[in-house]
């Protein structure tokens, strides 16, 4: 019932190695700027939350002063790049065993610089127990927060901000984890928290939730009764015993009562008629494994049954399960899922959360940070700084038991601007950005993981090359390599670690790792150079196009859009050629496509935009907010547009009259999630009544959105620059995707 | 959740209703079977509501379901005549073979004429004498003398109804006795319900040369309850409830007249638990069931305390203190948890204190027995309450042998139902707790022409 998060499982064993395997400065990062601490102390795990600012380098672009400089000169780049320090907000969450609480508090105290912080918000059953210790060590006043309020706040937060947060679990299925697409509206839902007891809460909105029931038969019953029956002290070991037992030796089954006749009666003989029904005898011994298994079934079935009864009474079909009974344990996720399916006959879905262990800490933090309005922002999981699902699960990593000092981390970046759905999505609730689910497709997974591994050295080289004046670039690049490599290895073994594994998530993880080690934009110089070259060709290209007949011009424009798309340094096939022959480039691309147009934005997109403008079409041109590979960013696009406008009266007047609008997508990825787009873009799309969406690039139109259904006409175009993918899609390398779609009636 | 502050006596327990909790594991999907079982009462509901003929057809189509029996092959002329009187031959038995206990009801005719007595075969006489002159049979068979219903008229015959129980594991001995006493020569029909009617059918036939008439246990249960309620308890009311169940001083067991029995939620607590929603005599459905029942209480008690009988388990429970074992709301919040309106005395985590080694070492077997009883009872109350809410029914009748002289459980059920429903739900109990299935089986026997 009530008590939740007060116990976290029996990992705090005395036989365990108590050394901390991760150096604390890699765990408690960015402490110097940390403020707004919150702590959730359970029965065995502590979760610490703090808000910090991260200073990192960003490549800023700005136009040169025009005074006296002739920008048309051959050796002059079109704009200047300067690397600046930028400060962004980040939430840090650290989970560790209570055993280390004192050592951790000491470390924090030693590294805490910010003295504005006066209080720490605390939740969880252990908050009371450790109150004095915290106050003494940190010199912060402990404010206790209501456990359930924190839990719900945390749950709302992760459901809203982390795509693929919730998943269904199906043992022995491939994949076992079925991640849910994010719903625009997460309410109402049922949260069943299985701590020592069970709490069932109906959540109707951000601030409205109601405790609708509970049960005293929960994790504490499994643990307490299990300890009595099996003389096993630890929760994890009880689960381990249960996973090896045969409950039919202890339970009275339907077939035990009916004999063989259950079949003719249409009854399942394996149904449990009476839990522990066979143990009602003095003259038999029962194995610990069998009793643990029987107990696990009894409790899981009971909770599942009650959850279904409550879900039915309140007309809800989504039930999220949390609490230490569930936390990262495939065994209990399986028995709970089974029970829910059985009792609801498939009408209710049992869902679990990737960051379930952090809900209380997140909620307590949010309560304390209300003046910062954290709920007004969009947040993104930082893959570089987060450990991923089950990083400490002994079921998955048998060696984990001896490495008990492991810390689990979650980091969330505050995004500059709020993200929303593209209003043009046909059905936002069923929209899945990614074309291939690599958790689902072992072959594809293997290919792409290997592909990213093989490309890693090239990325490292480019990163170092992008910062020739930096003394420690090589060292940072080495660390980047190590980090991303280990992420790839984790994903090989646990493809579900960060939600659905996709090419997009692999690319994003790489970007996050690059940023982590201050390689904000390894391609900034390359882009600068390319843009300079392309700008010089712009007028020439436009004149050539204008000379063509209408029909020829349209074909040439389409080719232009595609040719520019070959300049994508992320695609290994192209980068291999480029690295071996630096002179390869424009001419080569033209040959491959037998075309005479140029580089992506300037020679491909702008002429196309110009044609649309000439037709009287208004154009919203959206570029990435942050750098990703060699994609032109929003700020670069502004400079480029300015330069083009100076050359071209059509673009010039369109910009002035706001018939051409440059905006940012909100994304910093080579791919595009149309359910997480910049709010400004979404508003504009709605206001202007956009009726055609052009999505360009392999990342945006093939890896993602290939199957995206929009409410308006759409054009998806890309060159397939990956042999394996080209083959998968049924064509040769460098095949062209030019997909025009009209919404279904 | 629920109160853990009652104190009271004990007894011995129950039968296995074919309840259902799934095992999560390596088995065929349980859901489909459950579905089939559920559909049946629904069909019955629909048909009984509209056309009796349809129902008869449906019954006929149910092969190997209740009602299917084959009478003895050699039926004498005399008996054919008596069958014409639409009254079965003596002895009249109703049998309910559960997972743990066998319940036997026996109708002892008191209006036997001299002519009849003369005609009565020796084995029949001997059975009557054996059953009515003893209160205990073998090592574990017991006649609940206090439940005996006197001066009952059944099928035009006057007599007493006896209630006898023995452990299901003694079934082979029972069948052997039937053979020894030459039951088969009586050409009587054995009407039996419960899972054991199926499990032991072959043994009855091959060892005892007895043909069973197998009957649906839920049908029997409901017919039995309705009948027993209609005849009362030797002039007293069959049904009762508890006033002030949580208060040891003021608690009173009071008769309850089931004037408007429908709709009714029927919770049968045997080894496992079955929950039925009853809308009329032959319109009901099985709502759900749980595997946490009387068998769980007794089974866990055996493991935790080493007790050997249900009576012993209940006796220990009566002397124990469950709050040493359970973690209460006040143990966590220091008092009531006002945010959710939870009283401090409510159990937050059953056996929750047993997570701690020190507390494990500090509890007695009595405390553990008490906590087991409280846990199982509260859980049944909780599920029953949710079913009542979902089915929109406000009177809940608890039956089954788990409740036999188990006042702690009954008072707790009464209190928990009242408290958590804010007085909307009423918990009712019945004197003949575990015998309704057997009574229903007997009533079916009397229907056989």
SS3 assignment for A683-713: HHHHHHCCCEEEEECHHHHHHECCCCCECCE
Q: Distances in Å between the alpha carbon of A434 and those of A439, A706, B348?
A: 12, 8, 44
Contact A40, A5 (CB under 8 A): yes
Beta strands A141-144 and A119-123, pairing class: parallel
State the average pLDDT over residues A489-514.
92
- With CA atoms as reference, the chain B residue closest to A282 would be B308
A196 with B333: Cβ contact below 8 A: no
Please give, rounded to a whole number of angstroms, the shortest distance from the CA of B327 to a CA of chain A: 9
CB-CB neighbors (< 8 A) of B271 in chain A: 252, 257, 273-274, 277
Model confidence at B55, in pLDDT bands (50, 70, 90)? very low
B349 with A268: Cβ contact below 8 A: no
Residues B276-297 pLDDT 10s = 999 998 899 999 999 999 999 9
Among residues A625, A634, A310, A449, the alpha carbon closest in space to that of B386 is found at: A310
- With CA atoms as reference, the chain B residue closest to A217 would be B350
- Catalytically annotated residue among B119, B120, B201, B217: B217
User: Taking the mean position of all CA atoms in its chain, how far away is CA A203?
Assistant: 23
Please give, rounded to a whole number of angstroms, the shortest distance from the CA of B139 to a CA of chain A: 16
Contact A49, A92 (CB under 8 A): yes
A345 with B31: Cβ contact below 8 A: yes
CB-CB neighbors (< 8 A) of A219 in chain B: 349
Q: Is A581 helix (H, G, I), strand (E, B) or coil?
A: coil
Contact A348, A307 (CB under 8 A): yes
Q: Kindly report the backbone phi and psi dihedral angles of residue A30, in degrees, each rounded to the nearest multiple of 5, phi listed first.
A: 55, 35
Rounded CA-CA distance A378/B448 in Å is: 74
What's residue A328's pLDDT? 78
> Which position has the token pair 């009988």?
B309
Token pair for A320: 């999220």
Token pair for A179: 């991640």
Substitution target from A254, A274, A297 for chain B, most B beta carbons within 10 A = A274
What are B256's strand-pairing partners? B239
Contact B444, B209 (CB under 8 A): no
CB-CB neighbors (< 8 A) of B42 in chain A: none
What's residue B54's pLDDT? 35
Task: Give the nearest partner residue to B332 out of A125, A233, A265, using CB atoms.
Answer: A125
Token pair for A125: 């059953």
Contact A114, A35 (CB under 8 A): yes
For residues A182 and A484, the model is more confident at: A484
Beta strands in A338-455 (DSSP E): 349-353, 379-381, 408-414, 419-420
Beta strands A252-253 and B149-154, pairing class: unpaired
Length of chain A: 745
Contact A613, A648 (CB under 8 A): no
- With CA atoms as reference, the chain B residue closest to A126 would be B332
Question: Which residues are CB-contacts of A12 (< 8 A; sequence separation ≥ 6)?
Answer: A43, A44, A97, A98, A99
Token pair for B184: 């088969």
Q: What is the mean pLDDT of chain B?
A: 83
Among residues A714, A706, A674, A718, the alpha carbon closest in space to that of A435 is found at: A706
- With CA atoms as reference, the chain B residue closest to A332 would be B24
Among residues A568, A477, A467, A587, the alpha carbon closest in space to that of A527 is found at: A568
How large is the ipTM? 0.84
Q: Does A170 touch chain B (CB under 8 A)?
A: no
For residues A168 and A628, the model is more confident at: A168
Which of A208-212, A466-470, B79-83, B331-335 shows the lowest mean pLDDT across its residues? B79-83
Q: Does A535 touch chain B (CB under 8 A)?
A: no
Contact B271, B15 (CB under 8 A): yes
Q: Does A578 touch chain B (CB under 8 A)?
A: no
Contact B12, B426 (CB under 8 A): no
Please give, rounded to a whole number of angstroms, the shortest distance from the CA of A189 to a CA of chain B: 18
Model confidence at B85, in pLDDT bands (50, 70, 90)? low
What's residue A268's pLDDT? 81
Q: Calculate what percentage of chain B has a pLDDT beyond 90.
A: 65
Handedness of CA A234, A236, A237, A238 (dihedral sign): positive
Among residues A255, A267, A269, A256, the alpha carbon closest in space to that of B218 is found at: A267
State the average pLDDT over residues A12-21.
38
Rounded CA-CA distance B82/B157 in Å is: 13
Q: What is the mean pLDDT of chain A?
A: 85
What's residue A25's pLDDT? 65
Beta strands B273-280 and B264-269, pairing class: antiparallel
Token pair for B34: 């459950």
CB-CB neighbors (< 8 A) of A123 in chain B: none
Substitution target from B13, B24, B328 for chain A, most A beta carbons within 10 A = B24
Model confidence at A719, in pLDDT bands (50, 70, 90)? confident
- With CA atoms as reference, the chain B residue closest to A222 would be B351
Among residues B347, B292, B294, the alpha carbon closest in space to that of B324 is found at: B347
Residues A525-536 pLDDT 10s = 878 877 887 788
Among residues B349, B357, B344, the alpha carbon closest in space to that of A323 is found at: B349
Rounded CA-CA distance A159/A165 in Å is: 6
Rounded CA-CA distance B152/B198 in Å is: 30
Among residues A450, A435, A506, the alpha carbon closest in space to that of A718 is found at: A435
CB-CB neighbors (< 8 A) of B350 in chain A: 197, 216-218, 220-221, 224-225
Task: Give the nearest partner residue to B383 out of A248, A286, A309, using CB atoms.
Answer: A309
Q: Is B171 helix (H, G, I), strand (E, B) or coil?
A: helix
B288 with A256: Cβ contact below 8 A: no
B34 with A218: Cβ contact below 8 A: no
CB-CB neighbors (< 8 A) of A196 in chain B: 327, 348-349, 352, 355
Rounded CA-CA distance A88/A53 in Å is: 5
Beta strands A349-353 and A318-322, pairing class: parallel
Beta strands in A614-700 (DSSP E): 619-623, 660-664, 677-678, 692-696
Q: Does A2 touch chain B (CB under 8 A)?
A: yes
Contact A284, A320 (CB under 8 A): no
User: Taking the mean position of all CA atoms in its chain, how far away is CA A646?
Assistant: 41
Q: What is the CA radius of gyration of chain B?
A: 23
- With CA atoms as reference, the chain B residue closest to A127 would be B332
Contact A702, A570 (CB under 8 A): no
Question: Which residues are CB-contacts of A689 (< 8 A; sequence separation ≥ 6)?
Answer: none
Q: Is B315 a catalytic residue?
A: no
Task: Give the nearest partner residue to A266 out of B33, B270, B304, using CB atoms.
Answer: B33
Among residues A125, A7, A148, the alpha carbon closest in space to that of B331 is found at: A125
User: Taking the mean position of all CA atoms in its chain, how far away is CA A742?
Assistant: 31
Among residues A494, A307, A527, A522, the alpha carbon closest in space to that of A390 is found at: A494
What's residue A24's pLDDT? 62
List, as ranges, residues 643-702 from A with C-beta within 8 Å of B: none
Q: Distances in Å between the alpha carbon of B420 and those of A20, A212, B386, B426?
A: 48, 11, 10, 11
Model confidence at B20, in pLDDT bands (50, 70, 90)? very low
Q: Kindly report the backbone phi and psi dihedral angles of residue A367, in degrees, each rounded to the nearest multiple of 5, phi listed first.
A: -60, -40
CB-CB neighbors (< 8 A) of B389 in chain A: 313
Which of A193-197, B146-150, B191-195, B332-336 shows the lowest mean pLDDT across its residues? B332-336
Residues A68-111 pLDDT 10s = 444 445 557 788 888 888 888 899 999 888 888 888 888 888 87
Report pTM: 0.85
What are A189's strand-pairing partners? A203
What's residue B44's pLDDT? 37
What's residue A734's pLDDT? 81
Model confidence at B338, in pLDDT bands (50, 70, 90)? confident
- With CA atoms as reference, the chain A residue closest to B295 would be A277
List, as ranges, residues 340-399 from A with C-beta within 8 Å of B: 341-343, 345-346
CB-CB neighbors (< 8 A) of A215 in chain B: 1, 379, 382
- With CA atoms as reference, the chain B residue closest to A147 would be B339
A281 with B19: Cβ contact below 8 A: no
What's residue A576's pLDDT? 53
Rounded CA-CA distance A642/A639 in Å is: 5
Rounded CA-CA distance A566/A162 in Å is: 32
For residues A397 and A652, the model is more confident at: A652
B350 with A341: Cβ contact below 8 A: no
Given a cut of 90, whether residue A283 has pLDDT beyond it is: no
Residues B311-323 pLDDT 10s = 999 999 999 999 9
Given a cut of 70, whether residue B15 has pLDDT beyond it is: no
Residues B89-103 pLDDT 10s = 889 999 999 999 999
Handedness of CA B225, B230, B232, B236 (dihedral sign): positive
B383 with A305: Cβ contact below 8 A: yes
Terminal alpha carbon distance of chain B: 51
Beta strands in B271-394 (DSSP E): 273-280, 283-290, 327-328, 347-349
Q: Does A249 touch chain B (CB under 8 A)?
A: no
* Residue A170 burial class via C-beta count within 10 angstroms: exposed 0-12, middle 13-18, buried 19 and up: middle
Among residues A718, A672, A667, A722, the alpha carbon closest in space to that of A455 is found at: A722
Please give, rounded to a whole number of angstroms, the shortest distance from the CA of A1 to a CA of chain B: 5
């Amino acid at each position: 019932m009530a008590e939740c998060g007060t116990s976290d499982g029996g990992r705090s064993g005395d036989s365990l190695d108590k050394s901390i395997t991760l150096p604390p400065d890699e765990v408690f990062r960015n402490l110097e700027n940390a403020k707004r601490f919150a702590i959730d102390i359970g029965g065995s795990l502590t979760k610490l939350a703090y808000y910090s600012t991260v200073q990192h380098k960003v490549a800023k672009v700005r136009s040169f002063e025009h005074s006296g400089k002739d920008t048309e000169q051959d050796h002059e780049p079109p704009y200047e790049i300067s690397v600046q320090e930028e400060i962004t907000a980040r939430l840090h969450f650290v989970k560790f065993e209570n055993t280390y609480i004192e050592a951790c508090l000491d470390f924090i105290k030693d590294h805490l610089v910010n003295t504005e912080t006066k209080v720490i918000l605390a939740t969880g059953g252990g908050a009371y127990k450790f109150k004095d210790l915290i106050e003494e060590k940190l010199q912060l006043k402990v404010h206790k927060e209501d456990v359930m309020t924190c839990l719900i706040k945390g749950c709302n937060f992760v459901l809203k901000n982390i795509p693929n947060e919730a998943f269904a679990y199906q043992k022995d299925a491939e994949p076992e984890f079925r991640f849910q697409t994010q719903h625009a509206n997460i309410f109402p839902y049922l949260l069943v928290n299985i701590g020592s007891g069970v709490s069932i809460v109906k959540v109707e909105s951000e601030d409205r939730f109601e405790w609708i029931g509970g049960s005293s038969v929960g994790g504490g019953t499994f643990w307490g009764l299990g300890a009595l029956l099996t003389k096993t002290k630890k929760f994890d070991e009880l689960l381990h015993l249960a996973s090896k037992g045969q409950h039919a030796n202890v339970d009275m089954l339907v077939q035990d009562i009916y004999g063989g006749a259950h079949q003719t009666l249409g009854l399942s003989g394996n149904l449990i008629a009476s839990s522990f029904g066979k143990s009602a005898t003095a003259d038999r011994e029962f194995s610990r494994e069998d009793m643990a298994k029987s107990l696990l079934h009894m409790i899981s079935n009971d909770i599942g049954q009650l959850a279904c009864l409550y879900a039915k009474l309140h007309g809800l079909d989504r039930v999220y399960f949390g609490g230490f009974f569930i936390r990262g344990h495939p065994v209990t996720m399986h028995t709970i899922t089974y029970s829910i399916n059985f009792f609801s006959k498939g009408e209710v879905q049992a869902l679990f959360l990737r960051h379930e262990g952090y809900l209380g800490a997140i909620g307590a933090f949010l309560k304390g940070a209300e003046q910062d309005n954290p709920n007004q922002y969009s947040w993104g999981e930082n893959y570089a700084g987060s450990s991923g699902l089950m990083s400490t699960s002994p079921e998955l990593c048998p060696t984990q038991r001896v490495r008990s000092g492991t810390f689990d981390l979650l980091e969330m970046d505050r995004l500059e601007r709020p993200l929303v759905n593209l209003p043009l999505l046909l059905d936002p609730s069923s929209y899945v950005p990614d074309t291939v689910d690599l958790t689902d497709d072992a072959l594809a997974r293997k290919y792409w993981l290997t592909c990213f591994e093989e490309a890693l050295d090239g990325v490292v080289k480019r990163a170092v090359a992008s910062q020739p004046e930096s003394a420690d670039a090589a060292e940072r690049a080495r660390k980047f390599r190590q980090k991303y490599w280990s992420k790839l290895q984790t994903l090989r073994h646990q493809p579900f670690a960060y939600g659905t594994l996709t090419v997009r998530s692999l690319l994003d993880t790489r970007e996050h790792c690059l940023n982590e080690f201050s390689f904000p934009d390894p391609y900034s110089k390359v882009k600068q150079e390319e843009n300079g070259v392309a700008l010089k060709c712009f007028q020439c290209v436009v004149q050539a196009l204008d000379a063509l007949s209408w029909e020829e011009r349209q074909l040439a424009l389409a080719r232009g859009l595609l040719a520019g798309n070959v300049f994508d340094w992320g695609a290994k096939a192209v980068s291999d050629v480029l690295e071996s022959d630096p002179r390869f480039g424009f001419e080569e691309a033209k040959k491959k496509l037998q075309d005479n147009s140029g580089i992506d934005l300037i020679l491909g997109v702008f002429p196309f935009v110009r044609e649309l403008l000439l037709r009287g079409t208004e154009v919203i041109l959206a570029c990435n907010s942050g750098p990703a590979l060699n994609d032109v960013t929003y700020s670069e696009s502004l400079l480029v547009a300015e330069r083009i406008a100076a050359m071209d009266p059509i673009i010039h007047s369109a910009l002035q009259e706001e018939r051409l609008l440059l905006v940012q997508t909100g994304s910093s990825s080579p791919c595009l999630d149309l359910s997480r787009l910049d709010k400004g873009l979404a508003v504009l799309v709605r206001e202007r009544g956009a009726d055609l969406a052009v999505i360009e690039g392999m990342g945006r139109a093939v890896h993602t959105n290939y199957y995206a259904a929009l409410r308006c006409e759409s054009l998806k175009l890309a060159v397939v620059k990956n042999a394996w993918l080209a083959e998968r899609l049924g064509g040769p390398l460098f095949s062209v995707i030019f997909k025009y779609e009209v919404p279904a009636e | 959740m629920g109160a853990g502050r009652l104190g009271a006596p004990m007894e011995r327990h129950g039968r296995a209703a074919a309840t259902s909790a799934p095992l999560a594991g390596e088995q065929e999907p349980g859901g489909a079977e459950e579905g089939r079982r559920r559909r049946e009462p629904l069909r019955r509901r629909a048909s009984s509501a509209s056309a009796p003929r349809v129902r008869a057809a449906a019954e006929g189509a149910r092969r190997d379901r209740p009602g299917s029996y084959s009478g003895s092959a050699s039926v004498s002329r005399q008996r054919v005549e008596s069958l014409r009187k639409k009254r079965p031959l003596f002895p009249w038995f109703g049998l309910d073979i559960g997972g743990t206990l066998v319940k036997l009801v026996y109708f002892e005719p008191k209006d036997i004429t001299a002519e009849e007595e003369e005609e009565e075969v020796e084995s029949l006489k001997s059975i009557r004498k054996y059953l009515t002159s003893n209160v205990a049979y073998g090592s574990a068979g017991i006649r609940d003398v206090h439940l005996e219903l006197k001066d009952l008229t059944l099928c035009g015959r006057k007599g007493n109804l006896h209630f006898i129980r023995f452990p299901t594991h003694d079934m082979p001995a029972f069948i052997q006795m039937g053979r020894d006493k030459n039951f088969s020569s009586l050409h009587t029909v054995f009407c039996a319900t419960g899972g054991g009617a199926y499990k032991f059918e072959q043994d009855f036939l091959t060892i005892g040369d007895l043909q069973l008439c197998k009957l649906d246990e839920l049908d029997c249960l409901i017919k039995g309850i309705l009948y027993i309620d209609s005849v009362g308890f030797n002039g007293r009311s069959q049904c009762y409830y508890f006033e002030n169940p949580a208060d040891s001083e003021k608690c009173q067991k009071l008769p309850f007249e089931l004037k408007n029995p429908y709709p009714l939620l029927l919770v049968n607590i045997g080894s496992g638990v079955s929950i039925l929603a009853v809308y009329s005599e032959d319109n009901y459905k099985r709502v759900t069931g749980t595997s946490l029942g009387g068998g769980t209480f007794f089974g866990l008690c055996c493991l935790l305390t080493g007790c050997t009988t249900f009576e012993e388990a209940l006796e220990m429970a009566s002397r124990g203190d469950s709050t040493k074992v359970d973690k209460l709301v006040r143990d966590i919040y220091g008092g009531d948890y006002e945010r959710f309106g939870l009283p401090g005395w409510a159990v937050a985590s059953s056996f929750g204190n047993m997570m701690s080694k020190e507390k494990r070492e500090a509890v007695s077997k009595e405390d553990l027995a008490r906590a087991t009883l409280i846990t199982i009872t509260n859980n049944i109350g909780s599920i029953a309450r949710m079913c009542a809410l979902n089915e929109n029914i406000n009177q809940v009748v608890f039956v089954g042998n788990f409740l036999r002289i188990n006042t702690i459980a009954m008072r707790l059920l009464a209190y928990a139902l009242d408290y958590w429903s804010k007085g909307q739900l009423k918990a009712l109990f019945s004197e003949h707790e575990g015998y309704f299935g057997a009574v229903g089986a007997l009533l079916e026997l009397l229907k056989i022409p």
